[in-house]
Amino acid sequence: TALAKAPRRGGAAAAAAAAVAAEASVGYVDVHCHLTHRAFEGPAGQDAAVARARAAGLSRVVVNGMEPRSNRDVLALCARHQDVLRPALGIYPLNACANQIDSAEFMSRLAGMALPEAFDVAEELAFIEEAAASGSLAAIGEAGMDKMYGFNDRLFGAQEEVLRELCRIARFCRKSAWNWRTFIASWVGSSCYTSEQVRENWGSRSPMLAIFSPFLPR
């Protein structure tokens, strides 16, 4: 009996050791960043940031797009660094309602903020869905609703329509092209804020929403 049990104990120990080794191999994963932002000053600055991420021990970095230009920039950047970067495409709340914005009203409420460029939202959603269905994406995002930009029912409604479509795309791809679990994490500003800090800093602003899929480093 003792001899019969020994292999099982050894097997359990080996499995535990393998689990520890697998966990150690994952390293750190940044699930949301914007390496295509102008602050990185183009490809050279982006590549330098990726090199720093590697040196710091990041094994994967999910890079998020916000509108047509950045979505395509994200794909190009991730193609250059396939060992560590993974793309996420989406539409930021401000951009989601750009077609509905009255410029005078916008400038009076959000003085100093650049007016977002309008684009064909349906066309961009189709682009995102095609990329997601092909299995090219690690995530759907940016995505969300934000009353700082959706300061009237028309704008907030436009944000909601886009969010619903992005959620639909995420659900569809979970059932077909994607082999990863898809889930939704929501927060106001940052997950490290307490409810008291949220009320103090954001007041009546609505929660931001991020949609992403966990994946194993490959």
Residue with tokens 């191999």: 25
Torsion over CA: 183, 63, 144, 131 (sign): negative
Instruction: Tell me how far apart the alpha carbons of residues 46 and 103 are, in angstroms, rounded to a whole number.
Output: 32
* pLDDT tier for residue 111 given thresholds of 50, 70 and 90: confident
Instruction: Look over the chain and give the mean of its residue pLDDT values, rounded to a whole number.
Output: 76
Which tops the pLDDT comparison, 22 or 202?
22
147: nearest Cα among 93, 101, 108: 93
% of the chain residues with pLDDT over 90: 50
From residue 9, how far is each of 1, 20, 23 by CA, in Å?
A: 13, 17, 21
Are 86 and 138 a contacting pair, CB within 8 Å?
A: yes
The pLDDT tens digits of the residues spanning 145-188 come to: 888 888 899 999 999 999 999 989 988 887 333 333 333 333 32
Give the model's pLDDT for residue 26.
Answer: 60
The pLDDT tens digits of the residues spanning 27-44 come to: 788 888 999 999 998 999
